[in-house]
Amino acid sequence: MLPTILFSIILFLYGITIGSFLNVCICRLPKKENIVTTRSHCTSCGYQLKWYDLIPLFSWVALGGRCRKCKARISVQYPVIEALNGILWLTIFFVCGVSIETALYCIMASALLALSVIDFRTYEIPFGFNLMIAALGLIRVLTDLPNWTAYVIGFFAVSAPLYLLYFVTKGRGIGGGDIKLMAAAGLLLGWKLAILAFLIGCVLGSVIHVIRMRVADAKGSKAEHVLAMGPYLSAGIFIAALWGDRIVTWYLGFYA
Ligand SMILES: [Zn+2]
């Protein structure tokens, strides 16, 4: 019991630290800024953050969400992404235990989290995140060679029909980044869970989009009508990865 608690705490601390790095990616990648060499600074006054300003979660809370120098507000995005990444990692550990899945899914969840925020803001999924998930898929195939066909079929199971849709609608039906995301996730999860992930993503996307459109109409703004699929597909991929097998078994149980 004690080792589990200790491991959970360490994993959470690693999680929020990587979450802090995700914030850097989220802010800088769309602006094509370097994510490694540029020192972290306050976007209002340029104050270069010291190590004690950069402790995930705690610094933001200790500073009351304001810059140490100029007292400008620091976006709540920073602690939220940090905490969320820590919570996602803990959730994965509780579901998958000490396993290769936990390692693969933690990296996957962080990539999904960052690409979701970037897609939500810019309608673009940076190619690097899809490439990273595909690399995880490759590791998955190599560590589960007897089932390699399920993963290779997974690569095409959702992405190929989507590509057809993309081709027919000349890119208006679906984004290229979404197709690559489903291909990469398919390679990591296998075809059954890839299809399930896509279905969950579509259901979440339509329900939440309809609600957001209603809210936007009430406010009289039109911007909300554009739909970024990345966050919904990501949620679908995460849910399918962790609970997909159980969902499929439960669903098939209706026909048994
Ligand atoms: Zn400042």
Return left, alpha or beta for 143; rule: phi > 0 is left, psi -120 to 50 is alpha, else beta: alpha
pLDDT band at 224 (very low <50, low <70, confident <90, very high): low
Tally of CB atoms within 10 A around 93: 20
Instruction: Answer whether residue 221 shows pLDDT above 80.
Output: no
79 Cα to the center of ligand 1, angstroms: 17
Contact criterion met (CB below 8 Å) for 158 and 194: yes
Q: What percent of the chain has pLDDT over 90?
A: 73
Confidence bin at 2 (pLDDT 50/70/90): confident
pTM, 2 dp: 0.92
* pLDDT at position 95: 96
* Rounded Cα gap, residues 251 and 256, in angstroms: 10
Mean pLDDT for the stretch of residues 111-133:
96
- pLDDT score, position 39: 83
Share above pLDDT 70 across residues of the chain, in percent, rounded to a whole number: 98
70 CA distance to ligand 1 centroid (A)?
A: 4
From the CA of 104, how far away is ligand 1's center (Å)?
A: 37
Residue 65, pLDDT > 80, answer yes
Q: Which tens digits make up the pLDDT trace of 66-79? A: 999 999 999 999 99
Name the maximum alpha-carbon separation found in the chain: 65
pLDDT in tens, 159-182: 999 999 998 988 777 889 999 999
Q: For residue 222, what pLDDT is reported?
A: 62
At 96, is the pLDDT very low, low, confident or very high (cuts 50, 70, 90)?
Answer: very high
C-alpha 50 to ligand 1 mean position (Å) = 12
110 CA to centre of ligand 1 in angstroms: 28
Query: Taking residues 190-215, what's their average pLDDT?
Result: 93
Q: How far away, in angstroms, is 40 Cα from ligand 1 center?
A: 11
3-state secondary structure of 208: helix
C-beta neighbour count of 37 within 10 angstroms: 6
Token pair 């909300």: residue: 224
